[in-house]
Amino acid sequence: MTNRILSLAWVAFLISIPFWMEDLYYLHVLIVTGIFIIAAMSLNLLLGYTGQLSLGHVAFFGIGAYVSSLVSLGFEIHVLPNTTVSLDPKPVWFAMLVAVIFSGLCGWFIGRVSFKVRGAYFVIVTVSFAEVVRLVSLNWMELTQGPMALNNIPYLTLGIPEVFEVEFIGKVPCYYLVLAVAVFTYVVIRRLVQSRAGRAMIALRENEPLASSVGVDVTRVLVLATIVSAGLAGLAGALYAHYVRIVDPDVFLFIYTVTMVIMVITGGKGTLAGPIVGGLVFGIFPEVLRGFQVQPEIQWITYGVLMILIVYFLPAGIVPAIRSLLPRRLVEGGDGSVEPNATAEARS
């Protein structure tokens, strides 16, 4: 119960931010951090719960960004000499939905392809996939404009045209949109990992032979995790596209995957709050340094040192470290654990 009150307080605090945060630049930092936190949460489902490191996670993010942009902008491409495929511009909410589904399908594909590979080999499959997608986005000029980028991507509007419409343009509406999607992502992942499906994922991470001996279909579980993870990363990418309104092949940069991995690992992989805490630390920290007028080189060095310190002293991440400090009573029923009521029942 305390946990529920705590999370509601958190959400209330986040809702209040635009009312007192006057500098729109900081709001921008929060929006981008929020989008990365959504992507990090989706990565955590794979890395933290099934134990499979996807080092190509940015592929799903970028695919989401491109698909959503292209569907909302429309396109016309020549597939065969005399055949063209064209698509008229569609509403942004529809484009975002297509982006989520398409990213999810890519996740399904990766899950199926890599059904027998684990560990380092899974990493290689995902890295290669991301690189292939990046090269496609760079070279398929007709579809993606290559390095010239997709411009003038429309912003999201919701409601009935000419009656009541909300336009998600500018910092404050976009902030609330990102916040809403982040809460949605958190709820979906929380439900998943605290269910039978989530336990099967954890079983795959903890002990694969034992998992299959009690009837867990390991391939099916891994595919489910990659679909949901990729779909949510695609959603983050779509949000990004309609917020910055320009998408180029740089959305596939490897450094973005690394950022997500850092957020998950420093925050605490396999915990629900981990990616959020890690995301806030590594999204906001560089801006804090900038506020102190620190040189960019020093900023990056400090960033690296902080990361190494966290990984060295808190190998399980920030969230598990804090949890181990708290009295046991507060931790019961906490997130991430599969059995909030066990100890209560043990006493009865």
Partner 1 sequence: MTAPTVLSIEGLSIRFGGLTAVEDLTFQVREGEVLTLIGPNGAGKTSAFNAITGYIQPSAGDIVYRGECLVGMKPNQIAARGVVRTFQKTSVFSGLTMFENVLTGLHLRGKQHPLAIMLGLPSVRRDEERLRAEAWEILKLVGIEARAGEQASALPYGELRLLEVAVALAAKPTLLLLDEPVSGMNPTETADFMTLIGRIRALGITILLVEHDMKMVMGISDRIVCLNQGRIIADAPPAEIQKDPEVIRAYLGERYVRARG
Site residues for partner 1 per CB under 8 A: 187-188, 191-192, 195-197, 199-200, 202-203, 206-207, 209-218, 224, 228, 337-339, 341-343, 345-346
* Phi, psi at 269, each rounded to 5°: -75, 145
CB 209 to partner 1: min, Å: 7
* Beta strands in the chain, from DSSP E residues, in sequence order: 75-80, 83-87, 156-160, 164-168
Q: Which is nearer to partner 1, 32 or 183 (CB)?
A: 183
Q: Which is nearer to partner 1, 72 or 226 (CB)?
A: 226
CB 50 to partner 1: min, Å: 13
Q: Which is nearer to partner 1, 302 or 337 (CB)?
A: 337
Residue 210 CA, chain-centre distance (Å), reads 30
- By the 8 A CB rule, do 290 and 25 touch? no
CB 96 to partner 1: min, Å: 17
CB 346 to partner 1: min, Å: 5
Q: Which is nearer to partner 1, 86 or 213 (CB)?
A: 213
CB 4 to partner 1: min, Å: 14
Q: Which is nearer to partner 1, 15 or 338 (CB)?
A: 338
Exposed/middle/buried for 306, CB within 10 Å: 0-12, 13-18, 19+? middle
Residue 249 CA, chain-centre distance (Å), reads 18
Mutual angle of helices 57-73 and 120-139, in 10-degree steps: 30
Q: How far apart are CA 115 and CA 9, in angstroms?
A: 41
Give the chain's largest Cα–Cα span: 75
